[in-house]
Structure 1
């Protein structure tokens, strides 16, 4: 009896193959593989810095604080998420926070200072991967997001992509691309708990490529992996969607999708601490310790629905990763060249 019920459920919920994404996949993969190490400062990234920096920002002395060898570890031959300036500003802010934490430990005369410092160093060098899940929802090109559980110790209730830390035992020791892809897929399965019994095959995600890594504010290297959901999905507000993606309540409390066109048309900006703080410290003494410059980062609205909470928005690292993908990859492929800003490659 139970087997018969499962079979019926499979027939009712079995999604169809996403032909739109299958047709678009070769072009997306081609775009993602067309970047080189030189593209971080090339015209293909032109305009991004101006969009993020307001007023007259003094950058020369900031740039001198970051050595070229520090930058090279982030500049892989993939789509750049940050410009050189943004990367330098991020690394400066990370180092400022690290030193502040060490000073706090010393001031408190913590007996485990040595152990804490070692832990911080290990954490800084730890790698992570996130999956950007490209999908179609009843034929509409969309992206899947999660809202992190309110009980988590870090980034609780924030909108994010599924992902987490590389685990050598679980993800293997293969080349950089394979092991981080394994991390992204494993963490996505753990968070979404997608039900492969409701799919024609157990393969839900096809990997299309990756971008350059970006630093989190804790200093860990985060590599975005772009994946394509192989099947056309139902609306996220339906029971069918929740049966495919029941989610792990310990990690996420909402799984949802937003159409790519709505994301691009709804893009906005807000002051971003990871860059503005660097400028405020640079200007101390000239401006009585006050921030003379405000650096703007991207943000995206979330369409109204029953599970949306007040304050829900896409911001921070998630928005930083999302914007260049929308403008340089997903926008040109699905929306044409002129939607949501400069979409030239």
Structure 2
């Protein structure tokens, strides 16, 4: 069991390399197209090394925000004029504002295809890798927007991937209920699923029905 865990840990860690980055970038958008029909937002999907394991960073929104109160999310927000209509700039700016991650500390791999969301939003997930190992205690969390920051290893996400049926539209959606972690569901779970499919296709074997 320990050997299997070590091999899994090593396999995921090794995904952060130039070869995999180039492969992913061939499937990502270098210049995202903003939606003309929806309000554009962007989120940073932050891959990071925590305790020598490749992980994803998530936030939990505070309960006094106007939308998505108390929900698990990625750092992000609306594309505004200061971002020059660039979702990548939006994602990096919001990551700095929400959890104190500096733009210079993120290696941006590219932007995933925009996804429709509630409230008339089109959200652009930006895949980025933190250049240095992450210590959660070193983050400068904006407690006005973020109630909690946590990470989940890619190996955990892969082991605990399940799905639920959205009754309103009879659509299968991923859900990640990892022991000791907040449940990742909804839009954030869908982005997580797509990111795992992109970054680790040989190790993440979960498919939606």
Q: What is the aligned partner in structure 1 of residue 173 from structure 2?
A: 297
Q: Could you tell me how far 1:203 is from its partner in structure 2?
A: 1.9
Deviation at 1:341, TM superposition (A): 2.9
Query: 1: distance between equivalents of 2:111 and 2:23?
Result: 10
Partner of 2:97: 190
Question: What is the number of residues matched between the two proteins?
Answer: 192
Equivalent of 1:277, from 168, 176, 188?
168
Residue equivalent to 2:112 = 211
Indicate conservation of the 8 Å contact 1:142/1:258, yes or no.
Answer: yes
**In structure 2, what is the Cα distance between the partners aligned to 1:338 and 1:29?**
16
1:127 aligns with 2:40: yes
Q: Secondary structure at the match of 1:130?
A: strand
Of 163, 172, 175, the residue aligned with 2:84 is 172
Name the structure with the higher strand share.
Answer: 2
Tell me how large the CA RMSD over aligned residues is.
Answer: 2.6
Instruction: Provide the residue aligned with 1:227 in structure 2.
Output: 128
1:166–1:25 Cα change, 3 Å: farther
Runs of 5+ consecutive residues of structure 2 not aligned to the other structure: 1-11
Q: Which entry has the higher C-alpha Rg, 1 or 2?
A: 1
| Runs of 4+ off more than 6 Å | 20-23
Q: Please state if 1:268 is matched with 2:162.
A: yes
Q: Is residue 184 of structure 2 the alignment partner of residue 314 of structure 1?
A: yes
Q: Secondary structure at the match of 1:136?
A: strand
Shift of 1:339: 4.3
**In the superposition, relative to structure 1, how do residues 167 and 142 fare at CA in structure 2: closer, same or farther (>3 Å)?**
same
1:341 counterpart (201, 206, 209): 206
Deviation string, structure 1 residues 210-233 (Cα, Å, up to 9, x no partner):
110000122211100001101012
Could you tell me whether the CA contact under 8 Å between 1:127 and 1:222 is conserved in 2? yes
Pick closer, same or farther for the CA change 1:341–1:126 going to 2, 3 Å.
closer
User: Is the Cα–Cα contact under 8 Å of residues 24 and 198 in structure 2 kept in the other structure?
Assistant: no
Q: For the residues of structure 2 that align with 1:163 and 1:211, how far apart are their CA atoms?
A: 14
1:141 aligned to which of 48, 54, 61: 54
Q: 2:26 aligns with which of 21, 34, 58?
A: 34
Instruction: Note the C-alpha offset of 1:255.
Output: 0.8
Question: What is the TM-score normalised by the length of structure 1?
Answer: 0.51
